[in-house]
């Protein structure tokens, strides 16, 4: 008998988060404001920004979009960010990644006020996350005012919420994260440690990744390579979180995992699209509301 994995429906879980945000905004009679800065005309970035804008508008968050030409200098971008740092009415600031090669992403991230860093990438927020106590994520995700000005990176928060929703207790789970980026891999590993999971991180220099995959109770792939993880690499009954968003020649979107084959072996799996992506947007808007409540009420 062929196993059929339970689909981890990011659209549904994210929808519940957005309903919660909308209710709080309506009850308190507030309008959180988010500034979105986009440099260049990367098609994928444009689509992602438009999705953010649409979801924000639906729940009562106002978006201020600044679209800059590709040749914008780093100094010019820093001046724009500084102007938004000073605007009291702006609660959150994000700079859409990736940036053109002539702009240093780390400098840009560090220039955003930690109190408006709703992406959760600023070293200050990552530092606070790294010293968070065990079990903190339940408080963070259940109560917007649970923590003292800590913005959890949105994709990591989305992954954790899906895992908690579908699996529950993560204690002792052998968890493999493929990818060590500051956006996904590293922050996700930190939160998983606070949930008492056992963490392995693989990357481009890792050897025997197939063997590591076969030992993983939870496999999180965020490497950005289409169909990198084969279905034969999945441990029977594992949970597979595919963070990859890859556009192939026919404009079809696929993940980093061979979904069809993996879903025959795994117990739980995220679809692409419709898995982690909606969760990332939901937590960006969650953090924006959090910033408004922290800073201005």
Using a pLDDT cut of 90, give the percent of the chain over it.
Answer: 82
Range of the domain at 42: 29-115
Active site (annotated) includes residue 22:
no
Beta 198-202 vs 174-178: how paired, if at all?
A: parallel
Residue 286: inside a domain:
no
What residues contact residue 272 under an 8 Å CB cut-off, 6+ apart?
242, 244, 245, 253, 254, 255, 257, 259
User: Could you tell me the CATH number of the domain that includes residue 82?
Assistant: 3.40.50.10860
Same domain, 160 and 263: yes
Residue 171: inside a domain:
yes
Same domain, 268 and 162: yes
Same domain, 190 and 267: yes
Tell me what pLDDT residue 3 has. 67
Same domain, 98 and 171: no
C-alpha 258: how far from chain center:
21
Of the residues 55, 91, 96, 116, which is catalytic?
Answer: 96
CA distance 94 to 87: 14
The H-or-E segment that residue 45 falls in is helix 43-59
Q: In this predicted model, what pLDDT tens digit does every residue of 201-223 receive, in sequence order?
A: 999 899 999 999 999 999 999 99
Same domain, 80 and 179: no
Q: Give the mean model confidence (pLDDT) for residues 80-85.
A: 98
Q: Is the pLDDT assigned to residue 53 strictly greater than 80?
A: yes
Tell me what pLDDT residue 2 has. 55
Q: How many CB atoms lie within 10 A of CB 74?
A: 16
Residue 49: inside a domain:
yes
Tell me what pLDDT residue 1 has. 42
Same domain, 216 and 104: no
Place of tokens 């991180």: 201
Active site (annotated) includes residue 55:
no
Residue 192: inside a domain:
yes
CA distance 264 to 7: 11
Q: Give the mean model confidence (pLDDT) for residues 27-52.
A: 89
CA distance 273 to 255: 8
Contacts for 84-89: CB closer than 8 Å, 24+ residues apart: 84/35, 84/37, 84/116, 85/111, 85/112, 85/113, 85/116, 87/35, 88/296, 89/33
Of the residues 115, 117, 119, 242, which is catalytic?
Answer: 119
What residues contact residue 172 under an 8 Å CB cut-off, 6+ apart?
196, 197, 198
Residue 4: inside a domain:
no
Residue 134: inside a domain:
no
User: Could you tell me the CATH number of the domain that includes residue 184?
Assistant: 3.40.50.720
Residue 70: inside a domain:
yes
Min mean pLDDT across 19-23, 131-135, 152-156, 292-296 is at 292-296
- For 64, 71, 192, the CA distances from 82, given in Å and listed in that order, are 15, 19, 34
Residue 196: inside a domain:
yes
pLDDT band at residue 141, thresholds of 50, 70 and 90?
A: confident
Same domain, 111 and 199: no
Same domain, 173 and 237: yes
Same domain, 160 and 102: no
DSSP 224-242: --TT-B-GGGSPTT-EEEE
CA distance 99 to 73: 11
Tell me what pLDDT residue 273 has. 92
Average pLDDT, the chain: 93
Binding-site annotation, residues: 179-181, 245
Same domain, 183 and 231: yes
Q: In this predicted model, what pLDDT tens digit does every residue of 223-277 receive, in sequence order?
A: 999 999 999 999 999 999 999 988 887 778 899 999 999 999 999 999 999 999 9
Q: Give the mean model confidence (pLDDT) for residues 75-90.
A: 97
Q: Give the mean model confidence (pLDDT) for residues 69-77.
A: 97
| Closest alpha carbon to 218 in 189, 176, 164, 187 | 176
Binding-site annotation, residues for NADP(+): 179-181, 245
Active site (annotated) includes residue 52:
yes
Q: Structural domain tally of the chain?
A: 2
């Amino acid at each position: 008998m062929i196993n059929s994995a339970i689909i981890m429906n990011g659209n549904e879980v994210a929808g519940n988060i957005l309903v919660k945000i909308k209710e709080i905004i309506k009850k308190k009679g507030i309008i959180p404001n988010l500034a979105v800065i986009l440099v260049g005309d990367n098609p994928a970035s444009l689509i992602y920004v438009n999705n953010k804008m649409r979801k924000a508008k639906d729940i009562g968050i106002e978006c201020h979009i600044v679209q800059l030409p590709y040749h914008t200098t780093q100094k010019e971008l820093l001046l724009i960010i500084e102007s938004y740092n000073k605007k009291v009415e702006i609660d959150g600031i994000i700079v859409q990644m990736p940036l053109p090669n002539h702009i240093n992403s780390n400098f840009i991230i560090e220039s955003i006020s930690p109190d408006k860093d709703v992406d959760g990438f600023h070293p200050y927020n990552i530092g606070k996350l790294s010293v968070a106590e065990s079990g903190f994520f339940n408080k963070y995700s259940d109560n917007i005012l649970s923590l003292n000005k800590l913005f959890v990176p949105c994709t990591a928060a989305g992954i954790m919420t899906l895992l908690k929703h579908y699996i529950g207790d993560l204690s002792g789970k052998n968890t493999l994260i493929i990818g060590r980026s500051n956006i996904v891999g590293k922050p996700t590993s930190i939160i998983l440690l606070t949930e008492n999971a056992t963490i392995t991180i693989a990357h481009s220099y890792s050897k025997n990744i197939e063997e590591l995959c076969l030992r993983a109770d939870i496999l999180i792939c965020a490497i950005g390579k289409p169909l990198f993880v084969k279905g034969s690499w999945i441990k029977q009954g594992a949970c597979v979180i595919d963070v990859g968003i890859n556009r192939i020649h026919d404009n079809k979107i696929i993940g980093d995992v061979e979904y069809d084959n993996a879903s025959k072996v795994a117990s739980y799996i995220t679809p692409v699209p419709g898995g982690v992506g909606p969760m990332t947007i939901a937590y960006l808007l969650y953090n924006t509301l959090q910033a408004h409540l922290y800073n201005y009420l």
